[in-house]
Structure 1
Amino acid sequence: MSPTILFAAPADRWAQYETPLTEALDATGLDYRLGLDLPPEEVDYIIYAPKSGLTDFTPFPRLKAVLNLWAGVEGVVSNPTLRVPLTRMVDSEGLTQGMVEYVTGHVLRHHLGMDKYIGNTTPAWDQVAPPLAQERPVTILGLGALGHACARQLTSLGFPVTGWSRTPRSLDGLRCLHGAEGLTEALSGAQILVLLLPHTAETENLLDASALDLLPKGAVLINPGRGALVEDTALLAALDSGQVAQATLDVFRIEPLPADHPYWQHPRVTVTPHIAAETRPASAARVIADNIRRNEAGEPLCHVVDRDAGY
């Protein structure tokens, strides 16, 4: 039977994804049907994105899997009507590379103290060189595909990188910590802290006042992971006190970030508009198409979400 594939995403996404998905699915050799408006009783797969308007999966009796277009699945993972496998986007060609470039660029920016030179018109010849990378400890919270890739890149540049995850991980060439005790140790040595954890009940507000107090005074925070990882009022207080010297934030609890939010005006905060790791249609389409091919061939799906863990 030819699989029927529903594209459930905001309407403007169809224009971006129709051609890449068609090309990627054609390359699999499958005889398929792909579209926006398909009879629910005929749908085998749903390509899903947040804000699609689809919240009830019960009208799809033939549904085999839901394939999330984004890495984050917090908007769908707890949906009680979803009773088939859910996969998340893991795309080393586009999404992962984009995150590596963002994290590496901002780690280097803060490490080198570039902000004080950019746009500097004050005649002050402060000839103090920054430390070398080997003298600047970096901690990454989250050791999934994105965290691991960023850790490898930073390690290759000479930074001593510590990685932390909720459960034990062992990765070649990387110091790995886990659990509550490991988190204390990971934070206490982080001159630059990068957040790449998923948003779950266990990680929400993980960076609260007590966690921020564990950082070395004057540490830098980079958050391209999830906005809800950080308790906003605690971070603003830490920035005002100098406990945290600077924060670069790409993700927020409400997006777009409201115009009256204190982050916009804070002199020690850089706001970027959720651009760290955008899903690229061409490479993401190949990931989606290959997963459908695998399932149709009786092979296991890749990147299946652990519904209990939330990611």
Structure 2
Amino acid sequence: MIRVLFAARDAAWPEWETPLRDAFADAGLDVDLARDHPADKVDYIVLAPNGPVGDFAPFTACKAVLNLWAGVEDVVHNPTLTQPLARMVDPGLTQGMVEYVTGHVLRHHLGLDAHLHGQDGQWRPDPPPLAADRRVGILGLGALGLACADMLRHLGFDVAGWSRRLHDGLPFPAFAGQDGLATLLRRSDILVLLLPLTDATRHVLNATTLAQLPMGAVVLNPGRGGLIDDAALLAALDTGQVGHATLDTFTTEPLPPDHPFWAHPGVTVTPHIASATRPVTAARTVAENIRRGEAGEPLLHLVDRKAGY
């Protein structure tokens, strides 16, 4: 019997219980899933970082902590966490992010806002360029970034990417390091942020890097709010250096009602809806990692503690 502790807020249990039990059964796992196992008897923790477990020291028999979120910045630096930590890579979450990013890239590429909000009786027959003439930059080439890049390339966009580490063999230009970041920014008419939030990526968009974008570039952030220096972005919007920012994630959530983003004409706020972990598909990822752990196989999506993701 494998004891699995579900460590999330009470409201999450009805949503996750059946998908997890079904996924364990499909994987042939004999699992005792509960929210209240004795700490020293737990084999695996299925964790939401905002849940009830913040001290991992009592879980002396725990073989791995399996995160329910794609982001691990709220748990990875916990000094009591000595067990292996796996982040969530969920096919449902990935597909949702691809749809969000593609939709908003097309929105800005086609200039739909001008038609939706500019019904002033003026006839402006100015067609947009074709996708091949629109340069899209993607910061972050993990599972989400690569999936979005693949879809945008399929639509014909001129895609390039950047990550902290160089990726070889990709079917589009990919850059790394500070020089590579400047190169990527200079060729990004639309910039998509899909980086993890770490000490190295916090405020990756700041006054200096925003100035490296083409004048009037669009910023799309469905990644992490802390990737952007809010004050620097507002200043760039006010000068026209950034033409528009569509933001889904914020340093403080919910975004306070008095935050300048709400009222700024160059900002679209969406309430952290770009994508979400889908219990049915994510439960299969959890079950597969437990199967691997029990079989002595390498776990999927292990977090590099030093890198922070």
- Scaled to the shorter chain, the TM-score interval is over 0.9
2:241 to 240, 243, 257: 243
- Among the aligned pairs, what percent are the same residue? 59
Report the CA distance between 1:29 and its aligned residue: 1.3
Counterpart for residue 182 of structure 2: 184
Any residues of structure 2 matched to 1:1-311 within 5 Å, and which?
A: 2-92=1-91, 94-311=92-309
- Whole-Å separation in 1 of the counterparts to 2:31 and 2:133: 55
- Whole-Å separation in 2 of the counterparts to 1:199 and 1:276: 16
Report the CA distance between 1:28 and its aligned residue: 1.4
Q: Cα deviations across residues 172-195 of structure 1 (Å, max 9, x unaligned)?
A: 311111001100100011100000
- Whole-Å separation in 2 of the counterparts to 1:180 and 1:106: 27
Secondary structure of 2:243 counterpart: strand
Report the CA distance between 1:121 and its aligned residue: 3.0
Code of the residue aligned with 1:139 in structure 2: it is: G
- Whole-Å separation in 2 of the counterparts to 1:257 and 1:22: 35
Report the CA distance between 1:256 and its aligned residue: 0.7
Report the CA distance between 1:30 and its aligned residue: 1.5
Runs of 4+ in 1 over 4 A off after TM superposition: none
Scaled by the length of structure 1, what TM-score is found?
0.98
Report the CA distance between 1:119 and its aligned residue: 4.2
- Whole-Å separation in 2 of the counterparts to 1:167 and 1:150: 18
- Whole-Å separation in 2 of the counterparts to 1:301 and 1:307: 15
Q: Cα deviations across residues 92-141 of structure 1 (Å, max 9, x unaligned)?
A: 2x011001000000000000000011144310101100111111101000
Scaled by the length of structure 2, what TM-score is found?
0.99
Consecutive unaligned residues in structure 1, runs of 5 or more: none
Secondary structure of 1:117 counterpart: helix
Report the CA distance between 1:202 and its aligned residue: 0.2
Code of the residue aligned with 2:21 in structure 1: it is: T
- Whole-Å separation in 2 of the counterparts to 1:149 and 1:88: 17
Report the CA distance between 1:273 and its aligned residue: 0.8
Matched residues, number? 309
Code of the residue aligned with 2:144 in structure 1: it is: L
Code of the residue aligned with 1:30 in structure 2: it is: L
Secondary structure of 1:282 counterpart: helix
Secondary structure of 2:116 counterpart: coil
Report the CA distance between 1:50 and its aligned residue: 2.0
- Whole-Å separation in 2 of the counterparts to 1:171 and 1:207: 27
Secondary structure of 1:214 counterpart: coil
Report the CA distance between 1:266 and its aligned residue: 0.7
